[in-house]
A and B are shown apart, each in its own frame.
Chain A
Amino acid sequence: MSHPRLVSGSRPRASGPVRAATVITILAVAGLIGYPVARLIPSAHFGAALSAPGVGLAAWHTVALAAVVTVVAVPVGAAMALAVRRPDLPLRRTLSVAMVVPLVFPQFVLGYSWTQAYGKAGFTDTFLGLHWQGLLGPAGIAVVLIINAAPLCYLLTAAGLATRAQPDLEHAARVSGASPATVLATVTLPLLRPALGAAAVLTFVATLESFAVPQMLGAPAGFSTITTRIYADLALGSDPATFDEAVALALGLVLLAAVLLIPADLILAPRLRSERTGQSSSAGGRAPRTARSMFIAAGMWLYLALGVGLPTLALIAASITRAIGLKPTPSNWTLDNFSALATPASAQQLAHSLELAVAAAFILVVLGAIVALLARTVHGRALLGLTTLSLVVPGSTLAVGLLLAYGRWLDGTLTLILLAYLAKLWALASRPISGAVDRLPPAEVHAARTSGAGPLAALRTVVVPALAPAVAGAWLLVFLTALHEVTISSLLYSTHSETVAVALLNSQELGDIGQTAALSVSLTALVLLAALPMAALLRMAVRRRGIALPDVSELPREVSVAR
């Protein structure tokens, strides 16, 4: 078994911890992903699924959408992260928090709120007589998915900056006469390559798998993707042949992702690495505000206002309006939609969702870190690739795989839902952390080891401090995603393991927009309420361990919250 030189230092043989980590990872990948997916394969009827009319077009739509969203969302997220790094940016602390807020919106809520804001008979149409015709179609889907993905790219870039920003190098380049653009192109961006690579992979994969937005905005335009076709097949899946086609399409989507991702991973990953020479001192501090920074801040606020602010307002308006189709004026306001949400089961559903999200986040940062540390070898890369592919397996299909694999013992338990979350969301932890590991300074690990530090001591003094921001970002990503996960838990729950997803789907099916909006608003508020203390706790935990992060003053304070 090959081993990462990172932890093993200069010794030729894999050390005990490395071997143990490798074994644990292989077992976990096999148990969480391999076996459940293998149980599905006998069900897949590839012939019928792939020859059905329109599947090729849907596959093309899926890939094109993922490419467009990645190409736009990554630069947008990265630009925002670089912008909040400017010490002269007005309100930069607030901005750095505001940029992450869209992460708390489940996709269908974001899609729905956009229709309420910019669609025909929506907010802008009612008050300004303007609506966006293209919202219901590919353009609308792409824009909403970009708004949805940008915070993730922002978070990963910010974590990348926190881990490996080298103000000394940037400073040196500046005093040597390089323009800011040259510094960005020749120093900052190359140093960020691993983080940007991670963001691109996650965005691409998450878009391949996205369902709610394409379904909601694509139907009126007749725009289908692989995931919307899977949903249609499952709706008619009481016929076993149709169900088998859905399984085949789901596995086909995974194959598609594998074909696109694995070569990219194997070929590009080593090139994306950029080694940091060592810790650097900071050159931050406050600077006087310039017109340029005011302009950048204004642009960011405008982006947030149009992308998230106005849609959120429209959503809130829908949640307090008495009936669909009435104007959201005070005479039509009511809190009935909110009071209808409080059922005896609500508190327990919420507790289950929180429990699952916290457990998944803690377990996955450990599993994610292990995979990321192993990923410097080809075998490790393959494991990282596998965890990424599991993100593409549609939730409904993965849930059926887990039911087949472990339902006999775990059906109806929260444990089964947790296992599904671990399988599905692993990449949300392993990719960000891997993006940070790629630039760990091996020389420092080596130095620690030759100075007599054991593998664990080297891990603690060199590896953990460098990885902390990425680990915190990964924790937050997993936590938030698990908290508003709908598909998996709505398939695996039982009377004793209901999650908020169950209430969410109930209200959606009732077709009452006001109630769905009220639930979305409540859920978003709850996620925000839950995320803030979590972030604070995380910061305290990291601090207590005495982890000193490099370049602290270069960081916006709120990104350091995520430490």
Chain B
Amino acid sequence: MKVALARRLVGVLLLSALVATGCSSNASSSSSSRLTLYTCATDKIEQAAISAFSKANPGAKVDVYRAATGQLNSRVAADVRGGGIKADVIWACDPLTMHNYDAQGLLTNWAPPSTSTIDTAYRTPHFTGVDLLYLVAVTHQGVPAPQSWNDLTGPTYHGGVALPSPTFAASALGMLGYFATATDYGLNYFTRLKANGAKRLNSPDDTLAGVAQGTYKAGFALANAAYAAIHKGSPVTVTWPKPGAIAIYAPIGVTAKKSLSPIAREFADFIASPAGQAVIAKNGAYAAMSGVAGPPKPAGSPVASPDWSTLFGQSKTLLAHFGSIFPS
């Protein structure tokens, strides 16, 4: 028995050693053509962008950590508390998250290359929007399309509106920020939605699915996801209601890491360049640079932008207000 027990123990130890060594990472390599990217861009877009960058820069190696914003935040928080940010480049999904990283001194000066014509509305000294999300209205087949966001508080949609949660999805936080400050809307808009029987779900994808299935008549969803669903045959209609679909930009920035990868700026430059923007558009997202063909956007579709600089300091107060209307 002693022998058998010993054999088993050795087996367990060997297995652990195998796991520990055989598959350990060499992500911390300091080779000059290596960089670490933290991102919450979708896998498809981020992979396509990296592969295009690697093609243009032979020998470049990008180690990527991709996760939803909550996990990304945890990862960054662990880095900050454990000796400093490990990423060379951060590609976030919304300006508020990026602003908070910036406020902690995690980002450094960086601007897109001169070939980039990305609108100044999407730029700060430390980060620049490289792709856009549009929050639009979706309706189930046969339900009349809203002309304006205000219509969703009317009797046509009574008991049948779904909205995403600002504590779950950054795009919904953009929605909250936009309406809070928009003329004719304000936070009262959410009170009216609630009074009309609107339901708060988690992500904009949940609202899209709910509307497509007919659980809800109408909802707030992301334009590219809605058009993709329609392309497959989902019974929904997309509308860009007045005053406009709410635009949320996904920014990229170079970090203030001590031993910054020499190709960090090159990578960020590439994503903001016409070539990088074309890759993003080809993989199903709206590029931040105008004139790059991406998912459908009907001519003359109105677009509205939240005042991000105001939102940067106010998100907590707004969320508290929202929570008192749609309790969580």
B209–A407 touching, CB < 8 Å: no
A54–B328 touching, CB < 8 Å: yes
Residue B293 is within 8 A (CB to CB) of chain A in the complex: no
| From B27, B173, B209, contact of A411 by CB (8 A) | B27
- Of all chain B residues, which has the CB nearest A348? B23
B328–A224 touching, CB < 8 Å: yes
For A490, the chain B residues whose CB sits under 8 A away are: 67, 71
User: Interface with B: A63-71, A186-194, A355-363, A440-448, which one?
Assistant: A355-363
For B65, the chain A residues whose CB sits under 8 A away are: 493-495
Residue B156 is within 8 A (CB to CB) of chain A in the complex: no
Residue A238 is within 8 A (CB to CB) of chain B in the complex: yes
A495–B27 touching, CB < 8 Å: yes
User: Interface with A: B79-87, B123-131, B300-308, which one?
Assistant: B79-87
| From B1, B70, B236, contact of A237 by CB (8 A) | B70
For A534, the chain B residues whose CB sits under 8 A away are: none
Q: Known contacts A232-B328, A240-B104, A322-B233; is A414 also within 8 Å of B24 by CB?
A: yes
For A403, the chain B residues whose CB sits under 8 A away are: 75, 78-79, 82
CB under 8 Å from chain B, chain A span 465-509: 490-491, 493-497, 502, 505-506, 509
Q: Known contacts A234-B71, A418-B16; is A228 also within 8 Å of B328 by CB?
A: yes
| Bound-state Cα–Cα, A224 to B323, Å | 11
| Bound-state Cα–Cα, A513 to B234, Å | 12
| Bound-state Cα–Cα, A85 to B317, Å | 58
CB under 8 Å from chain A, chain B span 19-43: 19-20, 23-28, 42-43
Residue B4 is within 8 A (CB to CB) of chain A in the complex: yes
B78–A404 touching, CB < 8 Å: yes
| Shortest beta-carbon distance from B130 to chain A in Å | 18
| Shortest beta-carbon distance from A60 to chain B in Å | 14
| Bound-state Cα–Cα, A352 to B19, Å | 9
For B11, the chain A residues whose CB sits under 8 A away are: 362
A55-75 vs B: 1/0 string, CB under 8 Å? 000000000000000000000
B249-274 vs A: 1/0 string, CB under 8 Å? 00000000000000000000000000
| Bound-state Cα–Cα, A509 to B45, Å | 13
Residue B74 is within 8 A (CB to CB) of chain A in the complex: yes
CB under 8 Å from chain B, chain A span 236-251: 236-240, 242-243
Q: Known contacts A414-B24, A490-B67, A495-B64; is A238 also within 8 Å of B100 by CB?
A: yes
For B140, the chain A residues whose CB sits under 8 A away are: 325
| From A122, A232, A239, A355, contact of B100 by CB (8 A) | A239
CB under 8 Å from chain B, chain A span 186-236: 215-216, 219-220, 222, 224, 228-229, 231-232, 234-236
| Shortest beta-carbon distance from A455 to chain B in Å | 11
For A496, the chain B residues whose CB sits under 8 A away are: 23-27
A413–B214 touching, CB < 8 Å: no
| Shortest beta-carbon distance from B68 to chain A in Å | 6
| Bound-state Cα–Cα, A326 to B214, Å | 10
| Shortest beta-carbon distance from A329 to chain B in Å | 12
For A512, the chain B residues whose CB sits under 8 A away are: 205, 228-229
B233–A332 touching, CB < 8 Å: yes
For B60, the chain A residues whose CB sits under 8 A away are: none
CB under 8 Å from chain A, chain B span 73-103: 73-83, 86, 92, 96-101, 103
User: Interface with A: B145-153, B178-186, B195-203, B239-247, which one?
Assistant: B195-203
| Shortest beta-carbon distance from B193 to chain A in Å | 14
For A460, the chain B residues whose CB sits under 8 A away are: 1, 5
For A350, the chain B residues whose CB sits under 8 A away are: none
For A355, the chain B residues whose CB sits under 8 A away are: 18-19, 23
For B20, the chain A residues whose CB sits under 8 A away are: 413-415, 418
| From B9, B234, B315, contact of A323 by CB (8 A) | B234
Interface of B, secondary structure class, is helix
| Shortest beta-carbon distance from B115 to chain A in Å | 29
Q: Known contacts A235-B167, A323-B229; is A495 also within 8 Å of B4 by CB?
A: no
A497-536 vs B: 1/0 string, CB under 8 Å? 1000010011001111100000000000000000000000
| Bound-state Cα–Cα, A232 to B202, Å | 10
B68–A505 touching, CB < 8 Å: yes
For A216, the chain B residues whose CB sits under 8 A away are: 202
A240–B82 touching, CB < 8 Å: no
For A456, the chain B residues whose CB sits under 8 A away are: 1-2, 5
- Of all chain A residues, which has the CB nearest B207? A511
- Of all chain B residues, which has the CB nearest A495? B63
Residue B56 is within 8 A (CB to CB) of chain A in the complex: no
Residue A149 is within 8 A (CB to CB) of chain B in the complex: no
| Bound-state Cα–Cα, A369 to B86, Å | 39
A323–B212 touching, CB < 8 Å: yes
B320–A53 touching, CB < 8 Å: yes
A326–B235 touching, CB < 8 Å: yes
Interface of A, secondary structure class, is helix
A-B contact count (CB 8 A): 226
CB under 8 Å from chain B, chain A span 400-451: 400, 403-404, 407-408, 411-415, 418
Q: Known contacts A54-B323, A362-B12, A506-B42; is A236 also within 8 Å of B315 by CB?
A: yes
| Bound-state Cα–Cα, A457 to B3, Å | 12
For A255, the chain B residues whose CB sits under 8 A away are: none
For A413, the chain B residues whose CB sits under 8 A away are: 20, 23-25
A324–B234 touching, CB < 8 Å: yes
| Shortest beta-carbon distance from B148 to chain A in Å | 25
Residue A185 is within 8 A (CB to CB) of chain B in the complex: no
A324–B209 touching, CB < 8 Å: yes
A362–B15 touching, CB < 8 Å: yes
B1–A415 touching, CB < 8 Å: no
Residue B69 is within 8 A (CB to CB) of chain A in the complex: yes
| Shortest beta-carbon distance from B199 to chain A in Å | 5
Residue A396 is within 8 A (CB to CB) of chain B in the complex: yes
Residue B215 is within 8 A (CB to CB) of chain A in the complex: yes
| From A220, A411, A494, contact of B200 by CB (8 A) | A220
| From A235, A237, A400, contact of B168 by CB (8 A) | A235
| Bound-state Cα–Cα, A363 to B173, Å | 44
| Bound-state Cα–Cα, A505 to B42, Å | 10
Residue A366 is within 8 A (CB to CB) of chain B in the complex: yes
| Bound-state Cα–Cα, A52 to B24, Å | 41
B229–A396 touching, CB < 8 Å: no
B214–A121 touching, CB < 8 Å: yes
B200–A219 touching, CB < 8 Å: yes
Residue B327 is within 8 A (CB to CB) of chain A in the complex: yes
B73–A121 touching, CB < 8 Å: no
| Shortest beta-carbon distance from B88 to chain A in Å | 14
| Shortest beta-carbon distance from B75 to chain A in Å | 6
A325–B213 touching, CB < 8 Å: yes
| Bound-state Cα–Cα, A413 to B199, Å | 42
| Shortest beta-carbon distance from A49 to chain B in Å | 13
CB under 8 Å from chain A, chain B span 290-326: 315-316, 319-320, 323-324, 326
13 chain-A/chain-B pairs, Cβ below 8 angstroms: A120-B213, A121-B215, A215-B202, A236-B315, A243-B77, A325-B213, A325-B214, A359-B16, A411-B86, A414-B19, A415-B24, A491-B74, A510-B44
Q: Nearest 5 pairs between A and B by C-beta? A: A511-B205, A325-B212, A412-B25, A238-B100, A323-B232
Which chain B residues have a beta carbon within 8 Å of chain A's beta carbons? 1-2, 4-5, 9, 11-12, 15-16, 18-20, 23-28, 42-44, 63-71, 73-83, 86, 92, 96-101, 103-104, 140, 165, 167-170, 173, 199-206, 208-209, 211-215, 222, 225, 228-229, 232-236, 315-316, 319-320, 323-324, 326-328
Which chain A residues have a beta carbon within 8 Å of chain B's beta carbons? 43, 53-54, 119-122, 215-216, 219-220, 222, 224, 228-229, 231-232, 234-240, 242-243, 322-326, 332, 352, 355-356, 358-359, 362-363, 366, 396, 399-400, 403-404, 407-408, 411-415, 418, 456-457, 460, 490-491, 493-497, 502, 505-506, 509-513, 545
Q: Known A-B contacts: A222-B200, A236-B167, A491-B67. Give 7 more (CB < 8 A).
A: A43-B81, A363-B16, A399-B74, A399-B78, A414-B20, A418-B16, A511-B225
